[in-house]
Copies of this chain bind each other. A is one copy, B any other.
Amino acid sequence: MVAMDEFHPSNRILMGPGPSDVHPRVLKAMATPLIGHLDPEFLRIMDDIKAMAQATFQTKNDLTFVVSAPGSAGMETVLVNLLEPGDHALICIHGVFGGRMKDIAERCGAEVSTVEAPWGEPINPDDVKAAVATHRPKVVAIVHAETSTGVLQPLEEISDIVHDAGALLVVDAVTSYCGTDLKVDDWGIDAVYSGTQKCLSAPPGLSPVSFSARAVEALDNRKTKVQSWFLDLTMVKNYWAGAKRAYHHTGPISAMYALREAYRLVLEEGLENRFKRHHDTHLLLKDGLEALGFTYLVDPSYRLPMLNAVKLPAGLDDASTRSRLLNEFNIEVGGGLGKFAGKLWRVGLMGESCDANHVNMLLSALKTITN
């Protein structure tokens, strides 16, 4: 075949639902020459990453590590390990990603029931209470930050309900992790997964996860093999910990270099400072977007700071405006997903993409386009 040219991408400003901009230190770390996946130096990198994952999840869970695949594989890792055929799973759905959890739980052979809320609203704890009383599920799964709607789901009351019913609480924290408070231990979360390409601002491709002692007990008491070999924690955990650090699959060396540096940046800033930056920048963006006629889908009390789901002003066309933003200003914002396709924008302020300069670039570009 004809040789292809070198690739020179445009210099995009990433303000969609992820990936977010990546700090030059992370890019530089990723370009470090490789070492082996069983090299003692690489095992130390894994230990470092585990410790920083624990710190950022605010957990002491020993089974805290990083799945060698994107956030969707983290979702599947959690469900496929905790569910066996015939188990009952209660899935809370208030957007695309709750629906995805239901699909995966069904593929695990679980009996699935759902609690739903209108897209743009959080799940009502009373509905969860009624459903766990009816179904006595093994697992209740809920999305903390619905990337499709911009809703921040309060978790503490639901956690109590789930544990009072003897079930395990599974939380999708793909978009909230490292951008708003997420207290895995204090809130009693039994299994949590996230992605690297949102508020952590590492490249996409990995999924940090953490499992409580109760979740590990459920895993140890399985009667059947986990249906996925690649995601089977009974094996993966021996690569991440334990006396013998056994080979399972080849770890993604370069992506782990990048993740280690991204975690260092998070901890240098400090979680509280980082959460405040996301909150403050969100308010700046909100004022600017509202002045241009955009309106928020979600009530302020449940609004995500890092994922701004906004309805377009009358007369502004979705596709052509996003296309102009991308082609004339190099700015990416996200369109609506699922039932919101064509009707909503999702403006991301995640990690390195969350600062006043990004907000000003976007607002200036929008003013130029709409004038």
Q: Mind listing 30 A-B residue pairs with CB under 8 Å? A: A4-B52, A4-B264, A7-B261, A9-B32, A10-B41, A12-B35, A18-B250, A19-B36, A19-B253, A21-B34, A22-B33, A22-B34, A27-B31, A31-B31, A35-B332, A36-B332, A39-B332, A68-B69, A69-B69, A70-B249, A70-B250, A71-B249, A72-B229, A73-B249, A104-B229, A107-B229, A195-B250, A205-B205, A228-B228, A254-B255
**At the interface, is chain A mostly helix, strand, loop or mixed?**
loop
| A356 contacts B by Cβ under 8 Å | no
Contacts of A251 in B (CB 8 A): 70, 204
Cα distance A33–B12 in the bound complex, in angstroms: 8
A226 to chain B, nearest CB (A): 8
Count identical subunits in the complex: 2
A192 to chain B, nearest CB (A): 18
Contacts of A253 in B (CB 8 A): 19, 197, 203-205
- Chain A residues with CB under 8 Å of chain B are 1, 3-4, 6-7, 9-12, 14, 16, 18-19, 21-22, 27-37, 39-42, 45, 48, 51-52, 55, 68-73, 75-76, 80, 100, 103-104, 106-108, 195, 197, 203-205, 225-230, 247-255, 257-258, 260-261, 264, 267-268, 326, 332, 337
Known: A33-B11, A225-B107. A203 touches B1 (CB 8 A): no
Cα distance A36–B256 in the bound complex, in angstroms: 20
A64 to chain B, nearest CB (A): 13
Give the nearest-CB partner of A44 in chain B. Answer: B7
Cα distance A48–B2 in the bound complex, in angstroms: 11
Give the nearest-CB partner of A202 in chain B. Answer: B254
A201 to chain B, nearest CB (A): 10
Give the nearest-CB partner of A22 in chain B. Answer: B34
Q: Are B39's CB and A203's CB within 8 A?
A: no
Cα distance A14–B268 in the bound complex, in angstroms: 33
Contacts of A68 in B (CB 8 A): 69-70, 73, 205
Known: A9-B35, A14-B34, A72-B229. A255 touches B257 (CB 8 A): no
Of B106, B228, B267, B326, the contact of A1 (CB 8 Å cutoff): B267
Q: Are A229's CB and B76's CB within 8 A?
A: yes
Contacts of A52 in B (CB 8 A): 1, 4
Cα distance A31–B35 in the bound complex, in angstroms: 17
